[in-house]
A and B are shown apart, each in its own frame.
Chain A
Amino acid sequence: MTEKVGYLSPQWRDEAEKRLKAEITPEKMNYLTTSVSYNYTNCPDGVDKYLYFKCVNGQFAEVGVDSGEPPKTEFRITGSYDIFSQVTQGKIKAQKALMTGKLKLKGNMVKALKLASLADRINKVLVTIPTNY
């Protein structure tokens, strides 16, 4: 795939799901069952959006992008479109964005610690999608 897709567009979602399922094995996800939503504020079109992942036994069961109220998830990360897009482009690390308060986490921090490296693995895949931000 060389053609760029719009960030958080349906095409981007499809590509993200395809790459995540292909490149991240259940073993790499530690056979984890969890769910997380990334909640984007200040989007360019003025509509708040969310990116949603659900993993069952380490397999990506659902990858969703939509607007409105995100589904109930174990973890919820909230931040501006600008910050999330920088994270997805690999310009800043998610952990740094959290530690500087640019992203806000909701959920059990102790459990989240176990997921920090997994979030990096997901991001390394998302960064490979040719994307228009």
Chain B
Amino acid sequence: MSTPSQNDPYFIDFKNRVTQIQDAMASENIDVYLGSRLRTISWISDAFCPWRSYVVIPAAGDPTVFTFVIDAARVTDDSWLDEDHVLGYAPMGGMDQITLISEFIKDDLGVTKGRIGIENGMSNYLPEGNLTHYEYEAFKAALSEAELVNAHQIIDRLSLIKDEGTINRFREASRIVDVGHKALKEALLDGGWKGMSETEIAGIAALAMRRSGSEWEWSFTGGNEIASGYRTGLAGGACTPASRRLLKEGEPLMVDIHAMFKLGLGDHSHNYFIGKATERQRWHAENFVDIVSLTLKSYKSGVSPSSLAEQMMDFAEERGFADYMVPGFEHGIGMMGDEWRIGMNDGPFAYWTNPDHTYHSGELLICAMQYACPAEDIGFRYENPILIKENKCEPLSKFPLKIEEIY
């Protein structure tokens, strides 16, 4: 059980979070909240739960996390919750997840009737963790007198504006990512790149970040994403798990690395040319650096994804490179498991970012931009967590923005 001090820069007031949830539950007449999404588990337990997990939040008092028994003791060790509030499920009589949780709700919390909030929906993000159809039906049968209602909006709303402890965790994760980029650049220089594969590059960055305290290269897109040569320019290609491809002179190299610090996420991309770039390659690179610079200057409170995209695509059109820009400039981010969708589920397409979502101070997102010219086997990526402020944004990763030639 972890008990950080309030003076710790990474302190998060989890008790207060739970109280806020319980207040929202009361106002929506929800007696018990049964969370299953990874983002919900992280946000409440402060522990990484890689196995299917659930959190049961009563109307008052501490929540209880249910996870696979082989990991329950470790989750307890990492979480602020004690061993009586992190329970393991297992394939044994009375211990399977449906029986254990439903009997906990009925016998321990005394809730047999009433409304139970669940998390239902869909996501393009694989580990989102909405209740499956089977789980829903099984809980519905086991809690037959209760009504299961979709309630994820409570967590989505409360987790939107980040507190200082969360922001500091993201700052530290970004500092670690910068250490990874620095170590990798040093490894590439002076011919170090020769004979190097994308997977080796991913590993060099990972080692440096782990040495600096990163817990893992958290992204489900393959950890550290590395692309060289034609792989940098795959159409719309903003997902490139490292391959065994070797670096070649005259080609671009994209390095998109990830670090995790106390469930805060670092995610920053940097781009290179291996050897001297051609004039045409430099033209592409300048386009990309300029649009990233302008994008970072434009993010602030009051902006929306669609207004920013329009402004940036107009700029790209004026400069003659709109054909190469993927017309999206961000994705959502939060504590581990909270990725992709920004804001509430209130857009024209269910469970996708509302393009008219208005950013407010205290929101975190990943400024994410992809430039791709498949015909010329060239592309670049920029990702960086940014903190929205009143009249600007704060890019958390500080590695200098440029596209460098490596010899």
Binding site for B on A (CB under 8 A): 78-79, 97-106, 108-111, 113
Could you tell me if A108 and B87 are in contact, using CB atoms closer than 8 angstroms? yes
Q: With the chains together, A25 CA to B311 CA distance in Å?
A: 78
Could you tell me if B95 and A108 are in contact, using CB atoms closer than 8 angstroms? no
19 contacts between A and B (CB under 8 A): A78-B94, A97-B93, A98-B93, A99-B92, A101-B92, A101-B93, A104-B93, A104-B99, A105-B92, A105-B94, A109-B69, A109-B72, A109-B88, A109-B89, A110-B69, A110-B72, A110-B73, A110-B87, A113-B69
Could you tell me if A98 and B103 are in contact, using CB atoms closer than 8 angstroms? no
Binding site for A on B (CB under 8 A): 69, 72-73, 76, 83-84, 86-95, 99-100, 103
Could you tell me if B95 and A111 are in contact, using CB atoms closer than 8 angstroms? no
Could you tell me if B84 and A106 are in contact, using CB atoms closer than 8 angstroms? no
Report chain A residues within 8 Å CB of B93.
78-79, 97-105
Q: Given contacts A110-B83, A110-B87, is CB(A105)–CB(B73) below 8 Å?
A: no
Could you tell me if B83 and A108 are in contact, using CB atoms closer than 8 angstroms? yes
Known: A110-B87, A110-B88. 17 other contacts (CB 8 A): A98-B92, A101-B92, A103-B93, A105-B92, A105-B94, A105-B95, A108-B83, A108-B84, A109-B69, A109-B72, A109-B95, A110-B69, A110-B72, A110-B76, A110-B83, A110-B86, A113-B69
Determine which residue in A100, A106, A113 has the highest number of CB atoms from chain B within 10 A of its CB, and name it. A106
Q: With the chains together, A110 CA to B93 CA distance in Å?
A: 15
Determine which residue in B83, B84, B90 has the highest number of CB atoms from chain A within 10 A of its CB, and name it. B90
Report chain A residues within 8 Å CB of B92.
98-99, 101, 105, 109
Could you tell me if A99 and B91 are in contact, using CB atoms closer than 8 angstroms? yes
A9 to nearest B CB, angstroms?
26
B168 to nearest A CB, angstroms?
31
Could you tell me if B83 and A104 are in contact, using CB atoms closer than 8 angstroms? no
Q: With the chains together, A133 CA to B99 CA distance in Å?
A: 31
B145 to nearest A CB, angstroms?
20
Report chain A residues within 8 Å CB of B91.
99
Residue of A nearest to B104 (CB): A106
Report chain B residues within 8 Å CB of A97.
93
Q: With the chains together, A109 CA to B89 CA distance in Å?
A: 7
Nearest 6 A/B pairs, CB to CB? A104-B94, A104-B93, A109-B88, A98-B92, A101-B93, A105-B94
Residue of B nearest to A102 (CB): B93
B90 to nearest A CB, angstroms?
6
Q: With the chains together, A110 CA to B65 CA distance in Å?
A: 13
Q: With the chains together, A101 CA to B72 CA distance in Å?
A: 21
Q: Given contacts A104-B93, A104-B94, is CB(A109)–CB(B103) below 8 Å?
A: no
Q: With the chains together, A100 CA to B96 CA distance in Å?
A: 11
Residue of A nearest to B76 (CB): A110
Report chain B residues within 8 Å CB of A105.
92-95
